Every structure is written in structure tokens, then in C-alpha cells.
Chain A
Amino acid sequence: MNAAARIHRSTKRRAAVAVAVVVAVVAVFIVRLVSIQIVQADELNAQSADKLSAQTSIYGLRGDIVDNDGTVLATTVLRYDVTASPVSVTDFDRTGDDGSTTTVTPTQAAAEIAAITGQTSDEVYGILTADPGSNHAYVVQGIDVDKFRAIRDLEIPWLYYESHPVRTYPNGAVAGSVVGFMGEDENGTAVGTAGVEQIENQCLTGTDGLETYQRGADGVAIPGSTETAVQAVQGGTAQLSIDSDLQWFSQQALVDRINETGAAWGTVVVQEVKTGKLLAVADYPSVDPNNVDATPDSERGSIAFQSPFEPGSTFKALTAASVLEAGAADVGTQVEAPYIFTDANGASTRDSEFHVDPLRLTFAGVMQESSNTGFGMLGERLSSEQRYDFMQKFHMTEPSEVGFPAESGGILAPWQDWDDQTNLTTTFGQGVSTTAIQIASLYQTIGNGGVRLPVSLVQGCQAADGTVTDAPATDGQQIVSSKTATDVVNMLETVVTGGYASADLEIPGYRVAAKTGTAQMSDGSGAYGDSYITSVAGLAPAEDPQYVVSVTIAKPVTIESALAAAPVFQKIMSQVLKQNRVLPSTEPGPDLPTTY
């Protein structure tokens, strides 16, 4: 029994020791646990978050601007900045394909970088060593993918890479003045500051997204830790009515002629009669949005939208339509147009060509001859108010529906403010200023049976989720009767078949209706100077007008009549008809009598 008791006691003692040890160990654990989980918790959490968490921003790139068939006019691409950490610029080892190791010095590395970027190696080395204590220096900025890849493949350990989105315009100055370009707002954010870039800025702009995740020792995201903090939204795509090929052709033809005639500026507008869509809006001078700085500030806009000018004789189509619509005359109305005409108020005007005897002309003949005196006589059959009302109806007093930045609505005083001379000259397009777009729209109305359609440039902007905004209005407005419109087209056809610029306007196989204009330009001090704006606006084919082409060339030197603009009109109209597969006319024109 003694032994048993001894064993019993020893057992008890051992058990007690064991329990004590266990309690002590547990106590240590608890202390540590409390220390880690509660006392040091914040500090440790922060440390771990530093090591683990990472975030990437996901670009919501600015959307494209495309033409009517999807050709990209403006898009966003990524460019790369290469930065170095000068403080860690040292020799490094490079393992070749064959496993051999070579040591590359910073000088050699600089030469390798320079060979890719096009800098000199001294330049690159200078950047690397300019501030040896610094952690950040731009080696090169804004390089493309090819160069970025080439530099990355050098495997230089102290180089870092950043990407950033950049706007690019693959077609350069083709539609440059219409597409516009980017600038910065007051906060330094990139925004569209001209053209469609500005009109559709909101829809085009994307939203950058943000993703946070936790990463392992080698930088790989730990599964299931990725969280999207901000969802990236890609910018919308704005589609224009512009046809980039035709746009290029128009610009090329315009610039060619401007160089030939020594003119100062010019513009071409091509509009579809049945839809009101602008197919081409060419301006000279015009900006290449890829290189905005190369163009002076004053020449970066769109003349066609923003610069009103006195249209001259192309405006006579409006007077003719007004007089015919009001029933004050018809196409056969006969007038004796003198060289100088003085109206009842004492205002007077003269024809451009001197003639002793009055010309015995029909209304159509007055149009063909472009007789100012004839138009003064016929135009004044309507009161100033009546004529002003028609101008208003034809939208000569307001900007078009395009809503182009800083778009002009022309300059026309209310009829009550007209002096006697203005009262007379407005019948033939002086004393009133319009934009090229307004003139194109006038001819669109006449070509479309008197129904004016809203002028449209942006055909809509499709957001990333598929919703389309900013679709243009399509409801037409009957301005004059279809009979009046047809009469005016027939009158305009006589200009092409028998006017002085006939040879330069005719397009073989097609019936064309057009009006030339040679307007005196204001010299800037209230009088007319000795430079001219020459223009042609017209429709084809005349039997069922499909397209408007309006050409304006200002201050030509070698030719000072509409003959400066006529060949451009003919060239572009031929191209429009050919490109859109318009069949040649089969019926002869009405050939209205012009004299009696």
C-alpha cells in the first residue's frame, strides 16, 4: 500500500506540474495574443496593408469620333513615359541568350536608350546623372508602343514605365477644323476645346476606374481579393455625317485653287438635300489637330460655321424665292434692267458689266445675268418687312442646328433699321452677312421642294452601354411652296446653261443648277474695299436635286470673279455625283426663256 500511495502522490505532483506548465504557456500565448490583436493591432494591420494591398487604375478612354462610314477621325491611344531612379543608376548584369553574363555600365545603357528614342547618348546620360540623389527623372516622355517595348527589352533594372492616354487624329487636317482638338479647362483636365471635341465633350469623356487587390510576395493578386472601387466607363463614340474621302477631296480641291489664285481663305460645304446632313465642311486655313501649335490661334476654327461674310449674288436665290412665293412675279416676268437703277427712296445700284441699253430680261434672265438692277426692281416689289420675314424663315438670322462652338448666325439688322441703301442691296446679297452653312442650307431648302431640313453634323453619340444621345432633329419645315422651289431651281439652271461661268460650271451628263457670286468685301471701315469674295452655290442633278455644293473663295488675286470658285464647284460636284453613284440626267432641262 505504501508504494501505491507514493505512486499516487507522485502522479498528483506530476499532474500539478503539467497543469502549471500548460497554464503558463497558455498565459504567454494569451498575453501575446492580446498584444498582437489589440495593442499593436492598428500598427500591424497598417504594415500588412502596405505590403499586401495594391491598386490599379483602369483607363476609361475618351471615345472616338468617326465619319459616316466609321472611318476614325479622332481616337485615343496610350503613350509611354520612361522614368529612371537616378539614385539607383549603377552597373547591372545582363544575361545573354547563350547564358553568358555581361556587365552594362550606365554610359552603355544611356547609349542603348538613346539609340531607340533618338536622343543623343550624352543627353540621356545627362538626365540620369543630373541629380544623383533623386528618385525620379523623366528619361523620355510620350513614346509609342514600339519604342516602349524596345526600351523595356533592354531590361534595365532602374527604369520604370508609365502609360497615359493621348488623343490622335489619323487623318490629320482632313476635317480638322470640324473635328476640333483638345485643350485644358481651368482645372488642368483635358477637355475638347474646339469643334466636335467640344460639342460632344460630355459624351466622349470616359471615367477612369479603380481596382484594389491584395498581392503576394511576387506581386501576383491573391485570389478573391480584387475589389472594384470605381467602375471604368469607356467614352462614347460620336458619329458625324462627314464623308472623310469627300472631305479630303474638297479640301484638296479648295487649297489647290486658293494657291492657284492667290486667295486669302476659302470654304466648301457639301450638304445632302434630302437629309440636311453635312457631307463635307472644308476650310482653308485649317488646323491639323495632331499639331495644333503649328496653326496660328486665329486660324484654328471653322470659317464655314464661325465667319459670316456678305454672300453677294448667291443670295439672289432667296430673293427670287421670296418674290415668287409672294406672287409678286413669275419666272417669265419681264423687266428692262438698266445699267444703273435708282429706286423710289433714292438708293441706287449698278450692274457689274456696263451696258448702254437696258437689258430686256425675264426673271430667269435676271438670274442668269445676275443683274443687280433687275433684282433691285423685282425685289422691291416686296416690302422690307416681307423680305426680312423670308430671310428669317430661311434661318438667315440664326445659327444652324449644328450648335458648333462660336457658330455665327449671320449679321442682319431688323428691317426697321435698314437704311435706304441696305433696303436695296439686301435684294442681291450685300448689306447682309451669312455663314457658308446658312447659304448651303438655303440651297438645300430650294432643292428639297421648299422644305428646310435641320442642318446636321453629329449623327449621335453612342455611349459604352449602347444608348445613343444627341441624335439630330429630322423634322422639316416648309418655307416656300414646292412650285416656287422648282421655279427657282429652273432659274438657277439657266445660270449653268447660259451664264458667263457656264463653261466652268457644266458637268457633262448632268443637269446642274447653280448661282455664282462676286461680292465686294468690306474694307473694315464701313466702305467697300477692292477685294472680293467669289462664290458658287448649286444643286445637282437639277431634275431631282440630291446634293448642295457651296464654294467660297475670298480675295483671289489672279481672277477676281466667280470664275475663281467655279472650277472648284464643278470638281467637287462631279466627285459627289460620281462617289454617290448618281445616274446622269436623261431629260433635257426646261430651258426657261431669259430675254424677250
Chain B
Amino acid sequence: MTNLAGAAMARPRMTLSGGAPAPEWELPEIAPRIEIVPTRVQKRARPKIAYAAVVVTGVLAIVVTQLLLSIGLSDGAYEVSSLQQEQKELDRTNQVLSEQYDSLSSPQNLAASAESLGMVANSAPVYLRLSDGAVLGSPVAASAGTPTLTGGQTLIPNSLLAAPTAAADAAATTDAAAAAAAVSAPPVEPQSADVPWQGALPSPTTR
């Protein structure tokens, strides 16, 4: 195809040089230097390599960007998926901890814990008024013989607290040990924090 085109292109040149040789000039070897000089308009209209380069680069850039974008997107999809999974797990952990917190902070459990620490309720409330330092009410210390709040009996059932005292004891022992460790001046035996249980062992009342 290229050869054919070349031959066809050559033909007009041959007729031109054969049909109208220049008689005055004796320069047979030198090919005539006549050229069609493109007009400004033609020059401008001629495709420029720069344009082609811009277009090709542009297309390439778009393709590459598109590729990167898809990679980014699918990467993101996996990240989203793994983060969602993580969130699910964290939600579960959150649920476990809130359940634990709610059960431990239930009044039944708090009362049992307080009693296992040997705490009793003082029925004589006394107030200190900050404005003038007045003591309102007559302060009476609760004696060791004061009955505990519940008498060691959990009368209000809570089936979520299967073993309230076990958990409370563990927490109490840990707390007491921590407290003992924090206060170093008076050497407190960790064992002394365990108050011997008085009265019947607490047990859920079945009804």
C-alpha cells in the first residue's frame, strides 16, 4: 500500500519536470527547488505533534487515574468491611461491659458488697452546713453491733446475679489489696481487709 502510494505521488513530479524544464539554468543535477509554500492558514491547519502528545498523555492519564481510583475504591471496600467487622466486635465488647456494669451496679449487688466489707447503715443522719460550719442533727457512731442494711439476706431477687457475693468478694479483695498497696505508711495486712461474715450466708430467696 505504501509503495503504491509512493508511485502515485511520484507521477505528477515526473510530468512537471519533463513538461516544463527551465532552459536558462544549466543545473540539470539539482532537483528543482520549487515547493508549494503553505499559506499561514494551511500551516496552522496542519496537525501538530504537540496536540497528539497532549491527547495521548491525557488518555493515558485518565486510564491510569481510573485504574488507581478503582484500586483505591476496592481497597476502601475491604477497609470498610474490616472496619465494620471491627465495629461489630467492639459493639459486642461494649454490650458485654455494659451488661456487667449494670448488673454490678444493681442495688442488690451493691448492698451485698457493702455488707461483705463490713459496712453498716447509720440511721442518724447528720449534716454539716458549709455556710457557718453548723452541725445539724446529733452525730452517733454506728456500732459494730448495728444490724446491716439487709441482714445478709437478698430479699429482692435478680436472676441475672447468679452469684453476687462471689463477684463482689473478688472485687472487694482486689480493691482492698489495691488500697493497701496505695497507702504505704500504716502497714495493712491484705488479709485484715476480709471482714468475717456475720449472720447467715446470703443466698437467693426462692419463691
The contact of A172 among B95, B124, B160, by CB within 8 Å, is B160
Q: Mark A41-80 against chain B: 1 for CB-CB distance below 8 A, else 0.
A: 0000000000000000000000000000001100101100
A290 touches B151 (CB 8 A): no
A221 touches B107 (CB 8 A): no
Q: Decide if B159 is an interface residue (CB 8 Å cutoff).
A: yes
Q: Give the residue among B80, B81, B155 with the most A Cβ atoms within 10 A.
A: B155
Q: Which residues of B contact A220 (CB under 8 A)?
A: 77-78, 81
A288 touches B102 (CB 8 A): no
> Which residue of the partner chain A has the closest CB to B158?
A172
What is the interface residue range for chain B against chain A?
35 or more
Q: Which residues of A contact B74 (CB under 8 A)?
A: 223
Q: Decide if A173 is an interface residue (CB 8 Å cutoff).
A: yes
The contact of A583 among B136, B149, B156, by CB within 8 Å, is B136
B99 touches A223 (CB 8 A): no
In the docked arrangement, what's the CA distance between A147 and B176, Å?
30
- The smallest C-beta distance from B11 to any residue of chain A, in angstroms, reads 13
B159 touches A291 (CB 8 A): yes
A255 touches B77 (CB 8 A): no
Q: Which residues of B contact A255 (CB under 8 A)?
A: 155-156
Q: Which residues of A contact B160 (CB under 8 A)?
A: 168-170, 172, 290
In the docked arrangement, what's the CA distance between A178 and B136, Å?
36
- The smallest C-beta distance from B132 to any residue of chain A, in angstroms, reads 13
Q: Decide if A144 is an interface residue (CB 8 Å cutoff).
A: yes
In the docked arrangement, what's the CA distance between A167 and B161, Å?
16
Q: Which residues of A contact B81 (CB under 8 A)?
A: 220-221
B151 touches A256 (CB 8 A): yes
A75 touches B102 (CB 8 A): yes
B156 touches A172 (CB 8 A): yes
B138 touches A508 (CB 8 A): yes
- The smallest C-beta distance from B12 to any residue of chain A, in angstroms, reads 18
Q: Give the residue among A248, A259, A286 with the most B Cβ atoms within 10 A.
A: A248
- The smallest C-beta distance from A372 to any residue of chain B, in angstroms, reads 34
Q: Mark B94-115 against chain A: 1 for CB-CB distance below 8 A, else 0.
A: 0110110011011110010000
Q: Which residues of A contact B103 (CB under 8 A)?
A: 170
Stretch of A92-100, A359-367, A438-446, A574-582 lying at the B interface:
A574-582
> Which residue of the partner chain A has the closest CB to B124?
A508
In the docked arrangement, what's the CA distance between A255 and B137, Å?
29
Q: Decide if A149 is an interface residue (CB 8 Å cutoff).
A: yes
Q: Mark A558-586 against chain B: 1 for CB-CB distance below 8 A, else 0.
A: 00000000000000001001100101100
The contact of B127 among A149, A285, A584, by CB within 8 Å, is A584
In the docked arrangement, what's the CA distance between A259 and B207, Å?
12
A146 touches B96 (CB 8 A): yes
The contact of A577 among B93, B125, B151, by CB within 8 Å, is B125
What is the interface residue range for chain A against chain B?
35 or more
Q: Decide if B150 is an interface residue (CB 8 Å cutoff).
A: yes
Q: Decide if A245 is an interface residue (CB 8 Å cutoff).
A: yes
Q: Which residues of A contact B125 (CB under 8 A)?
A: 509, 574, 577-578, 584
A170 touches B99 (CB 8 A): yes
In the docked arrangement, what's the CA distance between A177 and B139, Å?
37
A145 touches B95 (CB 8 A): yes
B77 touches A173 (CB 8 A): no
Q: Decide if B157 is an interface residue (CB 8 Å cutoff).
A: yes
In the docked arrangement, what's the CA distance between A251 and B155, Å?
8
Q: Decide if A522 is an interface residue (CB 8 Å cutoff).
A: no
Q: Give the secondary structure class of A's interface.
A: mixed
A173 touches B102 (CB 8 A): no
B106 touches A171 (CB 8 A): yes
> Which residue of the partner chain B has the closest CB to A76?
B95
Q: Which residues of B contact A252 (CB under 8 A)?
A: 111, 149-150, 155-156
Q: Which residues of B contact A322 (CB under 8 A)?
A: none
Q: Which residues of A contact B80 (CB under 8 A)?
A: 221, 223
Q: Decide if A222 is an interface residue (CB 8 Å cutoff).
A: yes
- The smallest C-beta distance from B38 to any residue of chain A, in angstroms, reads 32
A149 touches B155 (CB 8 A): no
Q: Give the residue among A71, A77, A145 with the most B Cβ atoms within 10 A.
A: A145
Q: Which residues of B contact A247 (CB under 8 A)?
A: 107
Q: Decide if B76 is an interface residue (CB 8 Å cutoff).
A: yes
- The smallest C-beta distance from A559 to any residue of chain B, in angstroms, reads 19
> Which residue of the partner chain B has the closest CB to A570?
B123
B107 touches A168 (CB 8 A): no
Q: Which residues of B contact A288 (CB under 8 A)?
A: 157-159
Q: Which residues of B contact A71 (CB under 8 A)?
A: 105
Q: Decide if A244 is an interface residue (CB 8 Å cutoff).
A: yes
Task: Using known A-B contacts A145-B95, A248-B107, determine if residue A172 contacts B161 with beta carbons closer than 8 Å.
Answer: yes
> Which residue of the partner chain B has the closest CB to A246?
B107
Q: Decide if A240 is an interface residue (CB 8 Å cutoff).
A: no
Q: Mark B58-101 against chain A: 1 for CB-CB distance below 8 A, else 0.
A: 00000000000000011011101100000000001101101100
Q: Decide if A174 is an interface residue (CB 8 Å cutoff).
A: yes
Q: Which residues of B contact A244 (CB under 8 A)?
A: 107
Q: Which residues of B contact A174 (CB under 8 A)?
A: 106-108, 156, 158
In the docked arrangement, what's the CA distance between A566 and B13, Å?
133
- The smallest C-beta distance from A169 to any residue of chain B, in angstroms, reads 7
> Which residue of the partner chain A has the closest CB to B149?
A252
- The smallest C-beta distance from B112 to any residue of chain A, in angstroms, reads 11
In the docked arrangement, what's the CA distance between A71 and B98, Å?
12
A223 touches B108 (CB 8 A): no
- The smallest C-beta distance from A134 to any residue of chain B, in angstroms, reads 29
Q: Which residues of A contact B95 (CB under 8 A)?
A: 77-78, 145
- The smallest C-beta distance from B207 to any residue of chain A, in angstroms, reads 7
A173 touches B92 (CB 8 A): no
Q: Which residues of A contact B123 (CB under 8 A)?
A: 574
Q: Which residues of B contact A583 (CB under 8 A)?
A: 127, 136
> Which residue of the partner chain A has the closest CB to B92?
A145
Q: Across chains A and B, which 5 residue pairs bring their CB atoms closest together, nearest first?
A: A172-B158, A170-B102, A248-B107, A255-B155, A578-B125
A-B residue pairs in contact (CB < 8 Å), sample of 9: A144-B96, A149-B92, A171-B158, A173-B158, A249-B149, A256-B153, A290-B160, A509-B125, A583-B127
Given A174-B107, A294-B157: 18 more A-B contacts, CB < 8 Å: A71-B105, A75-B98, A75-B102, A78-B95, A148-B92, A168-B99, A170-B106, A171-B158, A172-B156, A220-B78, A222-B77, A223-B73, A248-B156, A255-B155, A256-B153, A508-B138, A583-B136, A584-B136
List residues of chain A with CB under 8 Å of any chain B CB. Answer: 71-72, 75, 77-78, 144-146, 148-149, 168-174, 216, 220-224, 244-245, 247-249, 251-252, 255-256, 259, 285-286, 288, 290-291, 294, 508-509, 574, 577-578, 581, 583-584
